[in-house]
Structure 1
Amino acid sequence: MARKDRLFALMQLLRSGRVIRAEDLAARLGVSLRTIYRDMDVLIDSGVPIEGARGLGYRATEDLALPPLTLSLTELEALHLGLAAVGAGADAELSAAAESLSAKIDAALPQDRQSPPAGFGHAIGPFAEAPEAHAWLPQIRAALRARQKLRAAWEGGADTLRPLKIAYWGRVWVLTAWAEEAAAFLELRVDRLTHLRALPELFVDEEGKRLTDFTPP
């Protein structure tokens, strides 16, 4: 398993909020205890809201989200995209301003993290490619509103999806969907999509395929 995939898998395992021992994480992912310790340090240093310590266990705390009365999800998306684009630009002054604004946003995020602000707008650390997800977000949002099926492809797979939820967690966008050919729920990193097409077919809630039927790993 590639390191970025392993880091994402760790984030998914910790989302339940339960304290999980490093030994159990290592067993689930088939890696050494030392690898888990290194990976947890990387995630914490990247600003992912995780608390814990070696020998005790780890758990995710609060999702990275600005107060809902301050910014809507669409506004947060626009802000993230803008800061990511400006921060990666060649204009040193604007890049510095984007970094400063990013730090101010980090200061407004939940204060239970154990690491310094890590630059919200720049999607730094192990998920630096995450801004690529923004190319797919308009289609996904439209499909969610219309309850429209999507044909999606990603590295290692493809399926017809019933989009159920889009969430921003740990600096990556994650789509929760019912995959019709796999007959199972999927959680897909949006930045890993290679193809996405809206289908003319709509869907309605069916028992066993609803978001309320989904249990995160």
Structure 2
Amino acid sequence: MSRTDRLFDVIQILRDGRLHRASDMAQRLDVSVRTIWRDVTTLMASGLPVEGERGVGYILRAPITLPPMLLSAQELDALREGLRLAARAPDAPLARAARKLAKRIAAVTPAPQSDPDQLFGVSGRSENRAPKHLPPLRRAIKARERVTVSYLDPRGFESHRDVCPLALDREGRIATLVSYCEARAGFRVFRMDRIIAVAATGERFSLPQGAGLAEYRAALAKD
């Protein structure tokens, strides 16, 4: 068995969300316990949500695969278009991930009628330079951690606010940060091109009732 195949099998074992001992996995895959240790370390280093330690066991904290799906032609076109836009995003890590995913999807789906490179946006070119604070904002949103945003208003005055980041959004061609401001008890939207800096506080936040992203979307739809 190749190492790639074995890593895939380790993931399949962990997919049930239960705690698995390295010795049990080694027996199932007919390898040594040390091999399982090395494989799990590789999976952790690659960013997969695997937790645990030697002598205790390992568990996958979040699903990492999608169930099999049959997509219509229109749904496949929508997926390709979304990846094309993501591949041109100013967030460099996100754009790289979109291009990688586009190539994987292209390998298992019918060829598009137009130029696949054009459709999937795999050229790697970006419309804008990536602001250096985009990746830390994405990490803070996933971790639900409060951040301090340094911001220039339309008049050029600088302010500093502690906010709970909810989502990275786009209004037309303008990228925005949707957040909840606890001090003002309301939603705040910042233009990304006016954000000077983002500082992590290391503090996790818990939103009050009615202050989530779903409520923001609903309020926006009513306007």
- Tell me the TM-score normalized by structure 1: 0.42
Q: Which has the larger radius of gyration?
A: 2
TM-score (norm 2): 0.41
